[in-house]
Copies of this chain bind each other. A is one copy, B any other.
Amino acid sequence: MPEILSPTYTRADEAFDCLQTAIVKGDLAPGEKIGELELCSRFNLTRGPLREALGRLESRGLLVRRPHAGVKVVSVSASELMELYRIREVMEGLAARQAAERMTDQEIADLQATLDSHERMIDEAQGQAYYQAEGDYDFHHRIATGSRNTKLAQMLLGDLYYMVRMYRYRLSTSTGRPQRALGEHRRIVEAIAQRDGELAEFLMKRHINAARQNIEKKIQEGEITI
């Protein structure tokens, strides 16, 4: 991890980033109770900045805090994870629609290029779900940003994705249907390239809905447990 990222990067920012990635990567397991002093020694921090970071993380819903009783990593149930996908469905649908209206031609070209790279990733590293998940994240990230809707991007990238990614890492599988997902991504980008916002929204909603149903099925079949 780089010592200096931004010209001004406070300890609290550092603590926030460390904890966030630790939670997302699963180094801090959901439901795990964590002590402040333990975290301090683990990340070489003092309690001041740490507590500030804890406040931010709590506000984002990654931690739950009970006064005088410590903090726990949030544990999301299967049904709650499904609810997250419902929210993603409508929000990313909006993002796709606005992206179709507002992304620059250059951004769209870049997006298509990343899809090519994702295709190579799938061919080369068959079954390496981790990299597929990263590619998937990259795609959705670009569209959220491309919507030019600051708050929307902030909510998607700063809240929802972290919670979803948290479980992606744990499940060690993206949607489990990489080729099909890639095809859906391509169609969405096509719609965006044609500036057809309505279609882009429809396709994105269907895409996320399919991902949700896929996970739901796996959970019901007992393939994966949460």
List chain A positions with a Cβ less than 8 A from chain B. Answer: 8-10, 12-13, 48, 51-53, 55-56, 58-61, 66-68, 80, 83-84, 86-87, 89-91, 93-94, 98, 149-152, 154-155, 158-160, 163
Shortest beta-carbon distance from A201 to chain B in Å: 9
Beyond the given pairs A52-B55, A87-B149, A89-B94, 17 more chain A to chain B contacts, judged by CB atoms under 8 angstroms and listed by A's residue number, are A8-B67, A8-B68, A9-B67, A48-B48, A48-B51, A51-B52, A52-B52, A55-B55, A56-B58, A59-B59, A59-B60, A59-B158, A61-B151, A61-B154, A83-B151, A90-B91, A90-B94
Between-chain CB contacts (< 8 Å), 12 pairs: A8-B67, A52-B52, A53-B55, A55-B59, A56-B56, A83-B152, A86-B94, A87-B91, A87-B155, A89-B94, A90-B91, A90-B94
Give the residues in chain B near A149, CB-CB below 8 Å. 83, 86-87
Taken together, the copies of this chain in the complex come to: 2
Give the residues in chain B near A154, CB-CB below 8 Å. 61
Q: How far is the CA of A86 from the CA of B93 in the complex (A)?
A: 11
Task: Identify the interface centre among A8, A83, A84, A160: most chain B CB within 10 Å of its CB.
Answer: A83
Give the residues in chain B near A89, CB-CB below 8 Å. 94
Decide if the interface of chain A is mainly helix, strand, loop or mixed. helix
With known contacts A61-B151, A155-B159, A98–B86 Cβ distance under 8 A: yes
Partner of A12, one of B55, B87, B90, B93: B55
A67/B155 in contact, CB under 8 A? no
Q: How far is the CA of A94 from the CA of B92 in the complex (A)?
A: 13
Give the residues in chain B near A58, CB-CB below 8 Å. 56
Give the residues in chain B near A159, CB-CB below 8 Å. 155
Q: Give the nearest-CB partner of A91 in chain B.
A: B90
Q: Give the nearest-CB partner of A51 in chain B.
A: B52
Q: How far is the CA of A51 from the CA of B48 in the complex (A)?
A: 9
Task: Identify the interface centre among A9, A10, A58, A90: most chain B CB within 10 Å of its CB.
Answer: A90
Give the residues in chain B near A87, CB-CB below 8 Å. 91, 94, 149, 151-152, 155
